[in-house]
Amino acid sequence: MLVAAALLCLPIPAAAVTFTDWWTMALTKMALLAEPAVAGTEVDAIEVEARGDVVTLRGRVATENARAAASAVALHIPGVRAVNNDLRVDDDTAPAARRSDGALRTAVLRSLRRDARLARNPFNVTVEDGIVRLTGAVPSVWSRVRASEVARAVDGVVAVQNDAGPLTVALEGSELALRPPRR
């Protein structure tokens, strides 16, 4: 586990977390950020913890429907059999007023470039009806998750579909993982 955490450049938690748990956390986080029904201005800050087949969600969402949607999303992740939903419903996290797709694209690109962990990654950003689609190359799963968090934090973004890659696990961090996919 220490080797996997070191290779992924992740903090080592106090309790034992398996590589499968890390993978489940990443998949769950990406799915939450991609789901428009999980609404609120702090969706990007939802904490996801996985232990075996149980996922725990912590943070704030705008409505009870958003809270229920988060549970449903987590239950659709392969291997997840139960969800401890500790999300709080808070009206203060209601989504911002809609912005034009062009304004959202500009704001998302600016946010990605300003993030120290993502500034060197070349992202392509498209926006349709407030839903952001990211493509490009990232060196790790957690860079992909971070890009989704940064994009979803932009006021007016409804959801983030992140197709940035390559998403290789076995080679993550190696020279091969940084090469563009063959066509």
CATH number of the domain to which 70 belongs: 3.30.300
Share of the chain above pLDDT 90, in %: 50
pTM greater than the 0.75 cutoff: no
* pLDDT attached to residue 98: 75
> 101 and 17, same structural domain?
no
> 80 and 31, same structural domain?
yes
* pLDDT attached to residue 87: 94
What pLDDT, in 10s, does the model give residues 107-120? 999 999 999 988 88
CATH number for 156: 3.30.1340.30
* pLDDT attached to residue 20: 87
> 87 and 59, same structural domain?
yes
* pLDDT attached to residue 179: 41
For the chain, the average pLDDT equals: 81
Domain that holds residue 46: 1-95
Tell me which of 50-64, 93-107, 152-166 is least confident.
93-107
**Is residue 174 pLDDT above 70, yes or no?**
no
HEC letters along the chain: CHHHHHHHCCCCCCCCCCHHHHHHHHHHHHHHHHCCCCCCCCHHHCEEEEECCEEEEEEEECCHHHHHHHHHHHHCCCCCCEEEEEEEECHHHCCCCCCCHHHHHHHHHHHHHHCCCCCCCCEEEEEECCEEEEEEECCCHHHHHHHHHHHHCCCCCCEEEECCECCCCCCCCCCHHHCCCCC
Which tops the pLDDT comparison, 13 or 52?
A: 52
Which tops the pLDDT comparison, 105 or 39?
A: 105
* pLDDT attached to residue 39: 83
**Is residue 82 pLDDT above 90, yes or no?**
yes
Tell me which of 30-39, 86-95, 173-182 is least confident.
173-182
Domains identified in the chain, total number: 2
> 100 and 82, same structural domain?
no
* pLDDT attached to residue 95: 62
